[in-house]
């Protein structure tokens, strides 16, 4: 009873404190988050947008963006998009297929595979690149093994330090990522649907074509888009593996930061490239959100 009274008194006391103070006080637990987020995220991002439309003379202008549409930089965007597309499609298909089997396995098998996926999806960066150099390099164990049985990959022009090499390396963490994000969607598939379609006389192909694929497609699309965005912004693995062999936007930005080129219109080129990446990545994420919503409606 007394506690309730005290609470009531406290409440009226704060109410008397004026609405501005009260709002501020109420906002207090959000303050540390908001401050860190604004200063270390919003502010730098605002700066790249601002710099990207500022010319070397300090006046506003689109000079940096005009450079973006020259051959070399368009080529880098093309390379990044192509790499993200191919690695997302390959890893997405293989990952979905494995997820399909994982889903139908025994529960102990499932937990082993989901744990392994969780661990492998976290592989990345420079160590991953070195691991693949050791395995698929000219002197790598797998390459030597294949040579012994008569397959000379390097003789056929394959090298891990290339576009297709990068797709293989990205698959190493993207397939597990696909398994992780796609398996929950499979859990929504009811056994009864298969039984119902069978009792209606549908063949396996018909069940696949008219039931399973339409039901799972939105979730599949969403998962693939997630893979796309993870490949699109990956930097460390690509840098360690291919250096300058393949032109990719993150690598170009990296070399611009390192080179500290600050002449003429190129001064803010890095910012314009960074904005370009943000825009593309944002578009992908919007589609990701839309397909997630679509998937939930199913």
Partner 1 sequence: MKRLFSSGFKYLVLAIALIFFVLPVVSALEFSLRKTGGHGHALTNYSWIFQQEDFSLNLMISLKLAALTAAITLLTVVPAVAYLHIEGQRYKRLFEFLAILPLVVPVVSLAIGAQKAMPEFIQNSQYELAFFYVVISIPYTFQSLNVGLSSIPLKTLVEASRSLGASFRKTITMVILPAIRSAVNAALFLAITLSFGEFTLTSLLHWETFPVWITRVSQGNILGSIALSMFSLIGAWLLLIIVQSAQTFKSRSKSQPKEAAV
Q: What phi, psi does 56 have (nearest 5°)?
A: -65, -25
The minimum distance between CB 277 and partner 1, in angstroms, equals 5
Cα–Cα distance, 181 to 95 (Å, whole number): 10
CB-based contact 63:51 (threshold 8 Å): no
Please list every residue from 253 through 292 that binds partner 1, using CB under 8 A: 253-254, 256-258, 270-271, 274-275, 277-278, 281-282, 285
Mark residues 1-20: x for contact with partner 1 by CB under 8 A, - for none. --xx-xx-------------
Cα–Cα distance, 65 to 70 (Å, whole number): 9
How would DSSP label each residue in 25-55? HHHGGGHHHHHHHIIIIIHHHHHHHHHHTB-
Q: Among 14, 24, 37, 72, which residue interacts with partner 1 (rule: CB under 8 A)? A: 37
Q: How many residues bind partner 1 (CB under 8 A)?
A: 86
58 binds partner 1 (CB under 8 A): no
Please list every residue from 96 through 155 that binds partner 1, using CB under 8 A: 97-98, 101, 104, 111, 115-116, 118-120, 122-136, 139-142, 145
Q: Which stretch binds partner 1 (CB under 8 A): 37-45, 65-73, 81-89, 213-221?
A: 37-45
Cβ proximity to partner 1, 229 vs 291, nearer residue = 229
Q: Which stretch binds partner 1 (CB under 8 A): 65-73, 148-156, 180-188, 190-198?
A: 190-198
47 binds partner 1 (CB under 8 A): yes
Q: Pick from 46, 22, 114: which is nearest to 278 by CA?
A: 46
3-state class (DSSP) for residue 60: strand
71 binds partner 1 (CB under 8 A): no
Show Cβ contacts of residue 45 under 8 Å, excluding neighbours closer than 6 positions. Answer: 278
């Amino acid at each position: 009873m007394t506690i309730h009274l005290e609470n009531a008194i406290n409440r009226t006391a704060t109410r008397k404190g004026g609405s501005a103070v009260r709002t501020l006080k109420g906002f207090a637990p959000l303050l540390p988050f908001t401050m860190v987020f604004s200063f270390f995220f919003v502010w730098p991002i605002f700066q790249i947008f601002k710099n990207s439309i500022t010319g070397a003379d300090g006046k506003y202008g689109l000079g940096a963006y005009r450079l973006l549409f020259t051959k070399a930089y368009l080529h880098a965007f093309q390379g990044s998009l192509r790499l993200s597309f191919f690695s997302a499609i390959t890893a997405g298909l293989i990952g979905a297929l494995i997820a399909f089997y994982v889903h139908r396995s025994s529960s102990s098998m499932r937990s082993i595979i989901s744990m392994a996926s969780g661990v492998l999806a976290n592989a990345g960066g420079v160590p991953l690149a070195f691991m693949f150099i050791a395995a698929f390099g000219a002197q790598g164990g797998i390459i030597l093994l294949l040579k012994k049985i008569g397959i000379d990959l390097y003789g056929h022009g394959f090298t891990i330090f290339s576009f297709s090499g990068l797709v293989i390396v990205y698959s190493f963490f993207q397939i597990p990522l696909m398994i992780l994000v796609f398996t929950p969607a499979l859990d929504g598939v009811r056994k009864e649907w298969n039984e119902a379609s069978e009792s209606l006389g549908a063949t396996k192909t018909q069940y696949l074509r008219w039931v399973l694929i339409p039901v799972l497609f939105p979730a599949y699309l969403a998962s693939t888009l997630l893979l796309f965005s993870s490949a699109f912004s990956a930097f460390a693995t690509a840098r360690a593996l291919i250096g300058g062999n393949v032109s990719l936007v993150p690598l170009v930005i990296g070399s611009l930061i390192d080179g500290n080129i600050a002449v003429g219109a190129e001064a803010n080129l890095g910012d314009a490239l960074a904005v370009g990446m943000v825009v593309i990545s944002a578009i992908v994420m919007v589609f990701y959100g839309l397909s997630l919503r679509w998937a939930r409606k199913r």
